[in-house]
């Protein structure tokens, strides 16, 4: 096979725009007469020799706008005296402005105003030569201060590149990229010419630098690399800026000079090391510079952390020289004078005789452009060459101290120990990304790994041009380009390149010896089709990959595990959870054969299984698997590892779903503690946990605590933009949800809008693959915003949001309209339209939703009867929404056949029933009338359907209080059913019961009683004696008997109803029935107790009435019904008062009052009534003369009066309550004042129209009212 690499003809264009500066500095000159003399032109020429990028302006506003838009460069600004004061006050505080120079004709005129600006210090000139000298001096000082460095957290010791935080990960891949450039071979002048081309373009208007570029072209040899690098010219300035901002496209252009500098240092290093190590164990070098004040503060926060240098580091053996470069603090407050003292341990070299134990560095006196400066130059960071796998140039921050008033000392130490700790990471990434002879293929792999698809594409394309048509690496390049275009969302190109790889791989395969990349390419196609939403085709590709793996002995179980993982991943996307779980279990079986019991790979599999169970909704199974993963992680990973923290976070999320608030928060705290130690505060994982904790506290109604965590998350995410944009969106949405729970809908809308602003920008900029993630978040955000808009009756805006969400669902689900999310979204829009009274549009939404369902049924060859049956079943369990969906499935299927058959009529009936449950009575009535019309016109007189339709129409009229019409339809339904052979006793019993209710409303008690008794008789033939339908009939019969003044008979029926309901409630509790059904059962039971108590009270049997009310209290306590508790305690108190037990009455009145206070939807009349009753009791009590009111009581009463005068009723009631508590403790026998105070509070309650205006203030604290006995 041909392995020839030829020169590339691929146009690797670095897009340099006319206004793009590749240097670190920009020089701007503003002068109205700038182009009017030869002297000005000469000044421009000489300035450009100092700073290449010179921009001149005659218009002040244009100049200010230009400065405001400078992105990365530091700006040196020269201004004429005429513009000086006016423009300086505008731009002085721009952070990019480093120095300002005023160049004028009259220095004295401008001396006063220039003194107030720090950046103008000693930079007022009327002499061109002095101006140029100062600019040149400042530029050299500024260039010296550019030290590209990266702060690293302690998580640099994590085990893999994926585990590292953003800074640590960037540090590792940057080293890897540099090593590839250093190790690549450059057999011709192509690399050198690439560099010269970009330099010429950058300096095309600078004759001085152009001449230096040509000098370089003609004279350069590799032994001159350091000499050119230390010369203040094009090479040093462009390369250092590219390294500082990590612009790899420019770094790549300088690849050959980077390699030459490194190799020259490497050659010089052994001899220099031999000289210095014979004299001392530690080499100390120094570096002086200015440092931005905020950068110094960052370093202070990372004491004992690490620094890596992104450049060739220049230092000196002379402390005095370093101090000179550091300066005297004159750059404050913007810049501080800094001296680095750096210790390089040499004793390790002596102990292990390992030339690679210390990074290459050397004294460069003999090869520098500026000799005899005792300059020590350190190599740029890269992963250790060879197989020792150590990391270069990581310094530990030993201390940061202020040595003098004007000078800071930062002590660093080359961390050889940390180098050893990083061997595992280094070995892993070298194995993953490097070949013995690195090439552009390795470069592309790195960019693909870090999701920089544009750069990966660029370097793969360059490589394609270099490789011959039958080069062995060609299918590998095609394969990776397939992954690149998949990442970019350009799926047709991805398919094209995967197919190109397949063609070559198949041509080089035999039946027993497939190409080594063939199974990987099929697996890549599987992932591609998964991204495209074509899950079946993805599975086919995985199976082909699996077939290749199983047909050859060269491929092992690890390859199969990889394919199984991909297949399980796709099955999960399909919602085929059973198949996904089966594959994960097979993976576990294979891992048991291959791996130790507690290998970290098991934890990954358990985490994947947990994710599937979580999507299924089985929280218990999901938790079980996360806990298995956690157990392994604890045994195999360091105690403080990011993976363990993630698992704690996932467990917390599931416990939150279980409403296990305490345990959820505990696991979030465990997660948070690890993330803080691994990453520090400013990291997305920390922000995510803060968001989750805020969500939990919000649910627990601990709103202030929730907002504290959420605000912390916002602040972190804002610092980490743009990488944290999606996290920020999630946090804004959770804040919106917390506001929604507080009924602060305007704030909720604003928060969701903040999220939308971010997503809408990303929507415009995102590539296709990222567009899916944006679409997913947009659906969540639009729907969340719509929820709050609906609460504020902003129907149009809410519907617009829901329609936007629908569009995004189509994007996210690849236009798969049959996806559940899309069907559900049509329904959401339909419901909102109904609320907005846009009924026609609402029905269009419902029908569109169910048309899709119909298509799904047709595709799956389901029988329509299945949907119809499902509709009846779901209606029976009150899931009316699902009933609509199922009935409308039949509607569309029927429309595909004949619109006038029984099935079509039945569908209208089903829709009408659901609309009735939704409370849309006119629309439901319309559906039922269409049903009748269809049945009569087709003469398809299906008896039960006709009877049911009249019954449904009767229900609507009953709700509308049209009792004559209701009775008419109930009787028609009964008549049809009584003459039908298919009628059932239960169906007839229900209709008689409902007819009885109509007669009750019309005060036709005898007719009502007859209907209920007929219903009871029919039920005896169709349901068991303890069926709830019996209880309902008994209850209704008892109500009739009460109205007929037959209390004893009524009590007997209530007792029968009571026994059935008690048994039913017991059965529901035993079977863990839903909270909704339990709540209904509780309330029905309490209602029965109340009705019995009323009868006992009318018969003056107060002890029995109290017992019934107390039973009702026990029930209300279980279903958290505060207002019902308040009413019932009031009834109990009334009964005790009738028994002349004033003490018990007081206790129960006070209980009633306490429940009123904590219920935000109470009726103020109850509160007033209770206070009046208590006041009346105290008025009847005997009074002693000797009473002295406490000072605290008087203060509270005075405050209450003041609040009443200000119409602040809530605050007034609060004060009365506090006063009462004080009085009941200090002087409980002061009955007169107690009576007066309760009476005043009663009046205050009456003075407002709605207790909701008062209660939020009362609930600011717990103001329980003590009774006399409790004091």
Nearest to 741 by CA among 686, 791, 673: 791
Tell me the percentage of the chain whose pLDDT exceeds 70: 79
Tell me the percentage of the chain whose pLDDT exceeds 90: 23
Q: Is the peptide bond before 722 cis (omega within 30 degrees of 0)?
A: yes
Question: In the prediction, which pLDDT does 966 show?
Answer: 92
pLDDT at 651 over 80: yes
133-179 residue pLDDT tens: 888 888 877 776 666 566 665 444 444 444 444 455 456 667 777 77
CB atoms within 10 A of CB 122: 10
Question: In the prediction, which pLDDT does 891 show?
Answer: 46
16 or 194: which leads in pLDDT: 194
Question: In the prediction, which pLDDT does 174 show?
Answer: 73
170 or 499: which leads in pLDDT: 499
C-alpha distances in angstroms, 977 versus 430, 740, 955?
82, 50, 17
- Is 885 in contact with 823 (CB distance < 8 Å)? yes
Question: In the prediction, which pLDDT does 18 show?
Answer: 45
Question: In the prediction, which pLDDT does 268 show?
Answer: 92
pLDDT at 120 over 80: yes
Task: Mention every residue, 6+ apart, whose C-beta is less than 8 A from residue 593.
Answer: 557
Residues of the chain with CATH 3.40.50.2300: 25-144
Question: In the prediction, which pLDDT does 555 show?
Answer: 59
Task: Mention every residue, 6+ apart, whose C-beta is less than 8 A from residue 617.
Answer: none
By three-state DSSP, how is residue 397 classified?
Answer: strand
CB atoms within 10 A of CB 85: 16
Nearest to 549 by CA among 523, 569, 571, 530: 523
pLDDT at 349 over 60: no
703: confidence class by pLDDT, cuts 50, 70, 90:
very high
Instruction: State the sign of the Cα–Cα–Cα–Cα dihedral 121, 122, 125, 130.
Output: negative
Question: In the prediction, which pLDDT does 150 show?
Answer: 63
The DSSP secondary-structure symbol of 54 reads E
Question: In the prediction, which pLDDT does 433 show?
Answer: 64
567 or 659: which leads in pLDDT: 567
Nearest to 312 by CA among 229, 380, 393, 241: 380
What residues form DSSP beta bridges with 378? 313, 361
Residues 55-75, mean pLDDT to the nearest whole number: 86
Residues 518-536, mean pLDDT to the nearest whole number: 89
The rounded distance, in Å, linking the Cα atoms of 1239 and 1169 is 10
Tell the residue number behind the tokens 């019904």, with chain if given: 1121
- Is 354 in contact with 388 (CB distance < 8 Å)? yes
Q: State how beta strands 394-404 and 306-309 pair.
A: antiparallel
496: confidence class by pLDDT, cuts 50, 70, 90:
very high
358: confidence class by pLDDT, cuts 50, 70, 90:
low
Angle at 1076 between CA 985 and CA 702, to 5 degrees: 175
Question: In the prediction, which pLDDT does 1248 show?
Answer: 61
Distance of CA 1268 to the CA centre of its chain: 54
The two three-digit tokens of residue 109, written as one number: 């005129």
Residues 183-190, mean pLDDT to the nearest whole number: 77
pLDDT at 918 over 70: no
Buried b (16+ CB within 10 A) or exposed e, 694-714: bbbbbbbeebebbbebbebbb
Tell me which fold the domain 25-144 belongs to: Rossmann fold (3.40.50)
Q: What is the pTM of this model?
A: 0.54
Query: What element of type H or E holds 27?
Result: strand 25-30
pLDDT at 508 over 70: yes
Return phi, psi of residue 188, to 5°: -135, -170
What residues form DSSP beta bridges with 290? 337
Angle at 55 between CA 49 and CA 61, to 5 degrees: 155
By three-state DSSP, how is residue 313 classified?
Answer: strand
Question: In the prediction, which pLDDT does 884 show?
Answer: 46
CB atoms within 10 A of CB 66: 17
321 or 385: which leads in pLDDT: 321
1268: confidence class by pLDDT, cuts 50, 70, 90:
very low
Instruction: State the sign of the Cα–Cα–Cα–Cα dihedral 456, 462, 463, 469.
Output: positive
Residues 343-364, mean pLDDT to the nearest whole number: 68
Query: H-type helices in 336-437, by residue range?
Result: 347-352, 416-421, 423-433
Query: What element of type H or E holds 149?
Result: strand 149-152
DSSP string for residues in 499-531: HHHHHHHHHT--SSS--TTHHHHHHHHHHHHHH
- Is 160 in contact with 426 (CB distance < 8 Å)? no
712 or 278: which leads in pLDDT: 712
Query: What element of type H or E holds 450?
Result: none
Instruction: State the sign of the Cα–Cα–Cα–Cα dihedral 867, 873, 874, 880.
Output: positive
1106-1158 residue pLDDT tens: 999 898 888 888 776 778 888 889 999 999 988 989 889 989 988 888 888 77
872: confidence class by pLDDT, cuts 50, 70, 90:
very low
The DSSP secondary-structure symbol of 983 reads -
459: confidence class by pLDDT, cuts 50, 70, 90:
confident
Tell the residue number behind the tokens 């934890």, with chain if given: 603
Residues 1207-1227, mean pLDDT to the nearest whole number: 86
CATH number of 149-434: 3.90.176.10
Max mean pLDDT range (56-60, 151-155, 234-238) = 56-60
Question: In the prediction, which pLDDT does 978 show?
Answer: 84
Residues 591-605, mean pLDDT to the nearest whole number: 83
929: confidence class by pLDDT, cuts 50, 70, 90:
confident
Question: In the prediction, which pLDDT does 941 show?
Answer: 46
Question: In the prediction, which pLDDT does 553 show?
Answer: 62
The two three-digit tokens of residue 1152, written as one number: 């009633």
pLDDT at 1 over 90: no
CB atoms within 10 A of CB 1243: 15
pLDDT at 326 over 50: yes
Nearest to 707 by CA among 670, 679, 744, 680: 744
Question: In the prediction, which pLDDT does 144 show?
Answer: 66
Which value, to the nearest 10 degrees, does the dihedral of the CA atoms of residues 1055, 1059, 1065, 1067 take?
Answer: -170
The two three-digit tokens of residue 517, written as one number: 């990349």
Distance of CA 950 to the CA centre of its chain: 52
Instruction: State the sign of the Cα–Cα–Cα–Cα dihedral 731, 733, 734, 736.
Output: positive
The rounded distance, in Å, linking the Cα atoms of 1102 and 878 is 39
Question: In the prediction, which pLDDT does 824 show?
Answer: 73
C-alpha distances in angstroms, 184 versus 37, 177, 438, 841?
52, 11, 6, 66
The rounded distance, in Å, linking the Cα atoms of 1220 and 1223 is 5
DSSP string for residues in 239-281: HHHHHHHT-HHHHHHTHHHHHHHHHHHHHHHHHHHHHHHTT-S
Angle at 47 between CA 45 and CA 52, to 5 degrees: 90
The rounded distance, in Å, linking the Cα atoms of 604 and 633 is 9
769 or 87: which leads in pLDDT: 87
Question: In the prediction, which pLDDT does 662 show?
Answer: 93
Residues 425-441, mean pLDDT to the nearest whole number: 65
Count helices and strands (H / E) in the chain: 56, 14
pLDDT at 696 over 90: yes
Range name among 426-440, 469-483, 980-994, 1155-1169 with the lowest pLDDT average: 426-440
The two three-digit tokens of residue 222, written as one number: 């590799």
Question: In the prediction, which pLDDT does 164 show?
Answer: 46
1023-1079 residue pLDDT tens: 567 777 777 878 888 888 888 888 888 888 888 888 888 877 776 565 454 454 456
Nearest to 456 by CA among 484, 491, 431: 484
By three-state DSSP, how is residue 465 classified?
Answer: helix
Residues of the chain with CATH 3.90.176.10: 149-434
1235 or 1257: which leads in pLDDT: 1235
By three-state DSSP, how is residue 723 classified?
Answer: coil
Residues 771-788, mean pLDDT to the nearest whole number: 92
989-1018 residue pLDDT tens: 888 888 988 988 888 888 988 888 888 888
555 or 614: which leads in pLDDT: 614
The two three-digit tokens of residue 385, written as one number: 């060459």
C-alpha distances in angstroms, 562 versus 495, 537, 583, 633, 859?
21, 18, 11, 21, 33
CB atoms within 10 A of CB 1131: 21
- Is 532 in contact with 491 (CB distance < 8 Å)? yes
840: confidence class by pLDDT, cuts 50, 70, 90:
low
The two three-digit tokens of residue 256, written as one number: 């050959």
């Amino acid at each position: 096979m041909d392995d020839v690499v030829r020169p590339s003809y691929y146009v690797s264009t670095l897009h340099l725009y006319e206004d793009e500066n590749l240097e670190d500095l920009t020089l701007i000159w503003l002068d109205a007469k700038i182009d009017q003399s030869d002297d000005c032109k000469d000044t421009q020429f000489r300035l450009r020799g100092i700073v290449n990028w010179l921009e001149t302006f005659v218009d002040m506003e244009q100049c200010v706008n230009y400065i405001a838009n400078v992105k990365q460069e530091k700006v040196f600004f020269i201004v004429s005296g005429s513009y000086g004061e006016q423009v300086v006050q505008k731009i002085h505080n721009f952070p990019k402005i480093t120095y300002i120079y005023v160049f004028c004709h009259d220095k004295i005129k401008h001396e006063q105003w220039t003194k107030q600006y720090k950046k103008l210090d000693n930079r007022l000139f009327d002499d061109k030569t002095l101006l140029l000298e100062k600019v040149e001096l400042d530029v050299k000082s500024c260039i010296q201060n550019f030290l590209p460095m990266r702060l690293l957290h302690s998580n640099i010791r994590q085990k893999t590149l994926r585990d590292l935080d953003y800074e640590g990960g960037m540090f590792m891949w940057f080293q890897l990229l540099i090593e590839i450039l250093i190790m690549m071979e450059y057999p011709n002048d192509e690399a050198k010419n690439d560099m010269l081309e970009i330099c010429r373009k950058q300096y095309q208007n600078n004759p001085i630098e152009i001449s230096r570029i040509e000098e370089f072209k003609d004279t350069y040899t590799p032994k001159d690399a350091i000499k050119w690098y230390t010369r203040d010219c094009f090479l040093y300035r462009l390369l250092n800026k590219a390294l500082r901002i990590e612009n790899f496209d420019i770094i790549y252009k300088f690849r050959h000079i980077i390699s030459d500098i490194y190799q020259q240092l490497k050659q010089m290093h052994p001899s220099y090391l031999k000289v210095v190590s014979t004299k001392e164990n530690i080499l100390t070098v120094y570096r002086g510079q200015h440092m931005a004040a905020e950068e110094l503060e960052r370093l202070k926060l990372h004491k004992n952390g690490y620094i890596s240098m992104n450049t060739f580091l220049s230092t000196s053996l002379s402390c005095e020289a370093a101090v000179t470069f550091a300066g005297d603090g004159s750059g404050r407050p913007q810049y501080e004078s800094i001296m680095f003292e750096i210790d390089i341990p040499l004793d390790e070299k002596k102990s292990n005789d390992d030339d690679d134990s210390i990074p290459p560095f050397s004294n460069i006196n003999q090869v520098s452009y500026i000799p005899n400066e005792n300059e020590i130059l350190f190599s740029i960071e890269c992963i250790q060459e060879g197989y020792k796998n150590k990391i270069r140039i990581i310094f530990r921050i030993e201390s940061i101290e202020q040595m003098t008033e004007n000078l800071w000392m930062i002590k660093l130490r080359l961390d050889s120990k940390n180098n050893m700790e990083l061997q595992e990471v280094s070995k892993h990434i070298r194995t993953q990304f490097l070949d013995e002879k690195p090439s552009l293929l390795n470069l592309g792999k790195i960019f693909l790994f870090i999701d920089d698809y544009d750069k990966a594409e660029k370097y793969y394309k360059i490589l394609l041009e270099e490789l011959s048509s039958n080069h062995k690496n060609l299918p590998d390049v095609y394969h990776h380009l397939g992954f690149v275009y998949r990442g970019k969302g350009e799926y047709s190109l991805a398919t094209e390149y995967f197919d190109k790889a397949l063609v070559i791989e198949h041509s080089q395969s035999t039946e027993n010896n497939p190409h080594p990349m063939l199974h990987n390419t099929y697996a890549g196609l599987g992932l591609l089709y998964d991204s495209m939403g074509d899950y079946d085709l993805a599975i086919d590709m995985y199976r082909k990959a699996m077939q290749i793996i199983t047909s050859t002995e060269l491929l092992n179980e690890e390859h199969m595990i990889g394919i199984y993982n991909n297949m399980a991943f796709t099955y999960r996307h399909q919602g085929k959870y059973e198949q996904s779980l089966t594959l994960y279990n097979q993976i576990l079986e294979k891992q048991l054969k291959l791996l130790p019991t507690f290998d970290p790979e098991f934890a990954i599999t358990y985490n994947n299984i947990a994710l599937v169970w979580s999507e299924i909704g089985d929280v218990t199974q999901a938790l079980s698997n996360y806990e298995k993963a956690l157990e392994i992680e604890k045994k195999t990973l360091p105690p403080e590892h990011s993976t363990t923290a993630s698992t704690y976070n996932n467990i917390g999320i599931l416990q939150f779903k279980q409403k296990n608030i305490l345990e959820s928060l505990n696991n979030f705290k465990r997660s948070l503690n690890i993330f803080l130690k691994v990453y520090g505060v400013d990291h997305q994982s920390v922000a995510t946990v803060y968001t989750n904790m805020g969500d939990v506290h919000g649910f627990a109604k601990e709103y202030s605590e929730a907002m504290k965590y959420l605000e912390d998350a916002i602040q972190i995410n804002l610092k980490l933009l743009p990488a944290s944009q999606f996290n920020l969106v999630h946090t804004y949405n959770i804040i919106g949800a917390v506001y929604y729970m507080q009924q602060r809908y305007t704030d909720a809308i604003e928060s969701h809008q903040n999220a939308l602003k971010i997503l809408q920008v990303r929507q415009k900029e995102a590539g296709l693959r990222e567009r899916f993630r944006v679409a997913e978040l947009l659906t969540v955000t639009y729907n969340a915003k719509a929820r709050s808009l609906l609460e504020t009756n902003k129907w149009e805006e809410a519907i617009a949001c829901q329609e936007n969400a629908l569009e995004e669902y189509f994007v996210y689900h690849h236009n798969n309209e049959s996806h559940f999310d899309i069907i559900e979204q049509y329904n959401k829009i339909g419901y909102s339209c109904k609320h907005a009274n846009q009924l026609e549009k609402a029905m269009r939404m419902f029908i569109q939703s169910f048309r899709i369902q119909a298509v799904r049924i047709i595709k799956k060859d389901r029988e329509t009867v299945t949907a119809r049956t499902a509709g009846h079943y779901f209606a029976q369990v009150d899931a009316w929404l699902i009933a609509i969906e199922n009935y409308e499935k039949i509607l569309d299927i029927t429309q595909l056949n004949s619109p006038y058959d029984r099935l079509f009529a039945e569908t209208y009936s089903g829709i009408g029933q659901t609309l009735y449950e939704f409370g849309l009575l006119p629309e439901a009535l319309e559906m039922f009338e269409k049903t009748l019309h269809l049945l009569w016109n087709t003469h398809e007189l299906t008896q039960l359907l006709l009877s049911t339709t009249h019954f449904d129409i009767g229900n609507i009229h009953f709700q509308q209080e049209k009792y004559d019409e209701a009775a008419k339809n109930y009787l028609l339904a009964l008549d049809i059913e009584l003459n039908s052979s298919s009628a059932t006793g239960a169906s007839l019993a229900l209709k008689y019961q409902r007819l009885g209710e109509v007669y009750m409303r019309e005060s036709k008690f005898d007719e009502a009683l007859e209907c209920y008794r007929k219903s009871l008789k029919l039920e005896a033939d169709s349901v068991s004696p303890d069926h709830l339908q019996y209880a309902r009939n008994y209850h209704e019969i008892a109500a009739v008997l009460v109205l007929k003044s037959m209390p004893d008979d009524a009590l007997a029926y209530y007792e029968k109803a009571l026994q059935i309901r008690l048994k039913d409630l017991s059965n529901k509790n035993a079977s863990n029935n839903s909270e909704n059904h339990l709540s209904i059962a509780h309330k029905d039971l309490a209602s029965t107790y109340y009705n019995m108590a009323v009868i006992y009270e009318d018969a003056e049997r107060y002890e029995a009435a109290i017992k019934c009310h107390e039973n009702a209290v026990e029930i209300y306590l279980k279903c958290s019904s505060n207002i019902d508790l308040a009413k019932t305690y009031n009834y109990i108190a009334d009964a005790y008062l009738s028994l002349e037990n004033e003490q018990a009455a007081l206790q129960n009145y006070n209980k009633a009052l306490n429940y009123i206070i904590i219920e935000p939807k109470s009726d103020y009349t109850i509160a007033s009534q209770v206070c009046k009753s208590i006041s009346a009791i105290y008025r009847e009590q005997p009074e002693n003369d000797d009473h002295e009111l406490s000072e605290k009581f008087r203060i509270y009463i005075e405050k209450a009066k003041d609040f009443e005068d200000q119409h602040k009723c809530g605050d007034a009631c609060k004060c009365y309550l506090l006063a009462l508590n004080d009085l009941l403790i200090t002087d409980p026998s002061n009955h007169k004042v107690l009576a007066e105070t309760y009476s005043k509070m009663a009046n205050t309650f009456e003075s407002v129209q709605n207790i909701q205006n008062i209660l939020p203030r009362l609930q600011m604290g717990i103001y329980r009212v003590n009774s006399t006995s409790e004091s």
